[in-house]
Amino acid sequence: MAAHGIDEKKYRSIVAYINSNQEVGAQGGRAVFFKGADHSNVVAHEMMHTYGRPHTFDSAGTVYRDGYDIMGGMPNYSYTGTFDRTGVGVDAYNRSKVGWLPTSRRLVLTRSSTPRTKRVVLAAVDRPESNGMLLVELRQSDGTKLLIEFREKHGWDRGIPGDAVLIRRAAKHPVSYTHLRAHETGRNL
């Protein structure tokens, strides 16, 4: 890029689209796409890597199998949009880590600061105009976090099987986390 007079140090992230059949990927704040890999799923996934977000995993620890998050790879609960296969959206935890989720809509609870029972109203992650928390984080004494969010079959998430409350586990190290349970009614857990 320097050969073309572009100073990479001025930019946080760089995205390149190459008009040939090459590998797609992201590393170190850079994403590269090739002709034919321009599905919005692929672009969104690799762009999230430029923001420093890792892959998500299923409950067995398998990468690329969390169908409820764009960082879970494919297959996910995508849908056919106007131009191609697209969706699912970015989960609440990844949104919070890149600054796309207001801190006022994230509730952090610890065992020592929380009563044994607490009622919390959740709003769907893709409906931030609704009342309720977008993310509930239960911090455990061992550094593990349980992350609770509500996903509604709407918008970017219109491909999911139905409304769902998701509970994920995020270990202190590594940063990746696991889909634990989808409660399909999405209303009571």
Secondary structure of residue 164 in the 3-state scheme: strand
**Phi and psi (nearest 5°) for 104?**
-70, -15
**pLDDT of 98-114, one tens digit each?**
999 999 999 999 877 66
Positive/negative CA dihedral, 46, 151, 101, 87: positive
CA angle 142, 144, 148 (to 5 degrees): 145
List Cα–Cα distances, 156 to 37, 93, 113, 117, 129, in angstroms. 19, 16, 35, 32, 15
**pLDDT of 124-153, one tens digit each?**
998 889 999 999 998 888 888 888 999 998
**Greatest Cα pair distance in the chain:** 62
Positive/negative CA dihedral, 149, 152, 155, 157: positive
Secondary structure of residue 83 in the 3-state scheme: coil
Q: What percent of the chain lies above the pLDDT cut of 90?
A: 16
Report d(CA 105, CA 28) in Å as an integer: 30
Amino acid at 100: W
**pLDDT of 21-59, one tens digit each?**
555 565 555 666 655 555 777 778 877 887 888 888 777
Q: Which helix (DSSP H) or strand (DSSP E) does residue 147 occupy?
A: strand 145-151
* Residue 186 pLDDT: 42
The whole-chain average pLDDT of the chain stands at 76
pTM for the model? 0.76
